[in-house]
Structure 1
C-alpha cells in the first residue's frame, strides 16, 4: 500500500475510533509510522486529507448499498427500506466518517470532486422514491430530499442516544419504517 492510501486508511480508522477532534496530520503520521511532515507531500492541507477520507467513506457506503440491493427485494418500497437501513447502519458503525462525509465545508471545498461521489447515492434514492411513492404534487427529488433529511436526522439522533431515550427503541427499524411511511404513505401490503 502506498503512503497516500495508508494515510487515508489510518485517518479513517482514527476518525472511526476517536472522532474528528483527534484527527490531525501529526497524529495520523504518528500512527502510520512516518515523520510528521510526510503527509504534506500527499495532502498539502488538512482539508485535502479530510476530503480523501470522506471520499473513501462515500465509496464504502455506495458499495454497501449496491451489495445489499443486489441481493435484496425487487419491490421499490422494500428496496428503499434496505437502502435506508444500510444508510443508518453505516452511520452507526462508521460514525466519525459519516459525520465527516456530510460536512458542508468538505463537500463545498471541491477537493476530489466529492459531489460526484455523493450525488449518485441521492439519485438512487430519488429513483427509488419515484418508483415507490404514490402520485404527488411534489417532484420525486423533493420527496427524496425530505426522506433523506429524515434519515440523516434519525441517524444523528440515534447516534446521540436521544431516540432510545425518547422512544425506548433498542433498534431503529420501527423508526425507519415510520420515516418511510411519513414520506411515502403506508406500504402497499398494509393497504386494503
Structure 2
C-alpha cells in the first residue's frame, strides 16, 4: 500500500508542473489526480479541499521565490543593493513563472480566514470548520525581509509603509510588463526596461542613491 507522504508530495509535484507549464486553469483536482496516476478521489486523503491543494502548490512557489531572494541578496554590497537585487529577482520570477506567480497571489488563498467554516470552496463542498489555507505564513516573512532592508536604507517615513508601497510598485511593474502594457508604451528601445523600472521604483520610494 502506498504511503501517504509520497502521494501527497507527488500530487504537489504534479500541480507545480501543471501550473508552470499550463497555467492556473489546469489545476483541477481531477486533472492533478489523472496526471499523478491515481483515482480522482485520492487527493482528498491529503487535501480535503481544492483550496488546500492549491495552497500547498503555491507554498512551493514562495519557497522558490525565497531561495531566489537569498541568492540574489547574498553578494549585494549594501542594503540598497540588496533591495535592488530582491526587486529584480521578484520581477524576473513573475515574468518567468507567470502561472505560479498568479496562483501565489490569489486573494482567496491569501485570505485564509475567508474560507474558515464557509462550507464551500473552489473544488466543491468543504467540511465546515476545517483548517483553511495558510499562505500568510509564506508571504509575511518575505515582506518582513523587505521591511528590514528598507529600514537599513534609511528611508524617510514608516519602513512598513515604504516597503508596502515599493512592493506594490514592483508588483505593478511585473504585471504590466507581463501583459505587454509597459513594453508597448516604452517602445523597443527599452530592452533593459525591467531593471531600469526597478531602479526608478527604488528612487521613488527610497530616494536617489547617494554617491
Q: Give the TM-score taking structure 1 as reference length.
A: 0.91
Q: Identify the residue that residue 74 of structure 1 maps to in structure 2.
A: 77
Structure with the greater alpha carbon radius of gyration: 2
Answer yes or no: is 1:164 the counterpart of 2:167: no
Report the Cα offset of residue 113 of structure 1: 2.6
Question: Could you list the runs of 5+ residues in structure 1 that have no partner in the other structure?
Answer: none
Q: Identify the residue that residue 154 of structure 1 maps to in structure 2.
A: 173
Answer yes or no: is 1:184 the counterpart of 2:203: no
Question: Could you list the runs of 5+ residues in structure 2 that have no partner in the other structure?
Answer: 114-131
Q: Give the TM-score taking structure 2 as reference length.
A: 0.83
Q: Identify the residue that residue 46 of structure 1 maps to in structure 2.
A: 50
Report the Cα offset of residue 31 of structure 1: 1.3
For 2:210 and 2:45, how far apart are their aligned partners in 1? 55
Count residues with an aligned counterpart. Answer: 186
Question: Whose helix proportion is higher, 1 or 2?
Answer: 1
1:60-97 per-position Cα deviation (integer Å, ceiling 9, x unaligned): 11111112222x21211111000001111111121111
Over 6 Å off, 4+ runs:
none
Answer yes or no: is 1:16 the counterpart of 2:35: no
Range moving further from structure 2, 1-10 or 23-32: 1-10
Range moving further from structure 2, 39-48 or 103-112: 103-112
For 2:154 and 2:203, how far apart are their aligned partners in 1? 10
Is contact 2:84–2:198 with CA below 8 Å preserved after alignment? yes
Report the Cα offset of residue 132 of structure 1: 1.2
